[in-house]
Amino acid sequence: MRARRSCLCSPARPASKLEKAATLRVDEIVIDLEDSVPPGLKAEARTAVGEALVDQEWAAATVSVRVNGVATPWFEDDMRAITRCVRLDSVIAPKVENVADLEACERLLEAAGTDVSRRAPIGLQALIESAAGLQAAGEIAAGSPRLESLILGPADMSVSLGFPSLEEGPRWDFVRGGVLVAARAAGLQAIDGPFLQISDLEGLVASAERAREFGFDGKWALHPTQVKPINEAFSARSDEVSRAEAILDALDAATDGGAVMLDGEMIDEASRKRAMQILARAKP
């Protein structure tokens, strides 16, 4: 499974943004053809992204592109342009509200075929950004074998649900919970959306830690300065790693394979699974 602690968004234009994005060593670069590109520049941006995915070396472990939505006039051209690029790792579908949206992506991905030089088949990620998408999240999560993650899109979601603002608070708990349960039930990653106040690093850390406490795997970043705090929030801490290793050692040493005591705590196979999850976070 791909590491997605921090998923850094980069506008598809101007060209200088793409050039800078290619040099950044992050878990995932998300090149955006949707919200950051005005209608009159969609074709120009699409061409620039296609060229960048062919001509440039990318430092990020994963390179993804957010295309325009299925219902827009740009969707099919976006898909045809980028799916020919070997460096593309996944397509991010915005505003997904039903399985049909994923099927439209799947159809065009299949039509593009598989390049023998590609490291792996092109994956899919689904942005959940509306009440309808949240309600159908379970069906969406099971809607394509290519699907790798569900991503919570907070800006559009807050409008769809009638929230008065984007501020963090308990009202977001059921939203995050809905996305998380749907993702986990289908064996997918759950990724939290961006924190929009770029200069507020304290708020960013609080938001990232809240998402991690919920069980999310990572969070979108809108600026390179947000990457390090997000990575730290979603990486296992040294004390967690030490405890996880002690749990595995204690269980492995048990002769009867049942529950054992460790520092006054009863541990069992559920403890083993949690320990392994923690150690997986330590190796992004």
Instruction: Give the closest residue to 134 by CA, choosing from 192, 168, 182, 169.
Output: 182
For 14-62, how does the pLDDT look when each residue is reduced to its tens digit (9 = 90+)? 888 899 999 999 999 999 999 999 999 999 999 999 999 998 899 999 9
Which has more confidence, 209 or 259? 209
What secondary structure does DSSP assign to 23-76, as a single string? Answer: H---SEEEEESSTTS-GGGHHHHHHHHHHHHHHS---SSEEEEEPPPTTSTTHH
Measure the CA–CA gap between 2 and 28, rounded to whole angstroms: 9
Instruction: Give the closest residue to 33 by CA, choosing from 106, 91, 85.
Output: 91
Domain 6-234 fold: TIM Barrel (3.20.20)
What secondary structure does DSSP assign to 191-231, as a single string? Answer: EE---S-TT-HHHHHHHHHHHHHHT--EEEESSGGGHHHHH
Q: How far apart are the first and last CA of the chain?
A: 10
Q: Is the pLDDT of residue 116 over 50?
A: no
Q: Is the pLDDT of residue 202 over 50?
A: yes
Q: How many CA atoms lie within 13 A of 168 on its CB side?
A: 17
Q: In the prediction, which pLDDT does 173 show?
A: 94
Q: Is the pLDDT of residue 274 over 90?
A: no
Q: In the prediction, which pLDDT does 118 show?
A: 53
Cis peptide before 121 (omega within 30 of 0): no
Q: Is the pLDDT of residue 145 over 80?
A: yes
- Averaged confidence pLDDT in the chain: 90
Across the strands, what pairs with 189? 149
- Of the ranges 88-102, 236-250, 263-277, the best mean pLDDT one: 88-102
For 251-264, how does the pLDDT look when each residue is reduced to its tens digit (9 = 90+)? 777 766 677 777 77
Length of the chain: 284
Residue type, 213: E
Measure the CA–CA gap between 204 and 192, rounded to whole angstroms: 12
Enumerate the domain spans of the chain.
6-234, 238-281
Find the mean pLDDT for residues 81-87.
88
User: Is 164:191 a contact under the CB 8 Å cutoff?
Assistant: no
Global pTM value: 0.89
Instruction: Give the closest residue to 180 by CA, choosing from 210, 203, 158, 144.
Output: 210
Q: Is the pLDDT of residue 180 over 60?
A: yes
Instruction: Give the closest residue to 151 by CA, choosing from 169, 134, 172, 168.
Output: 134
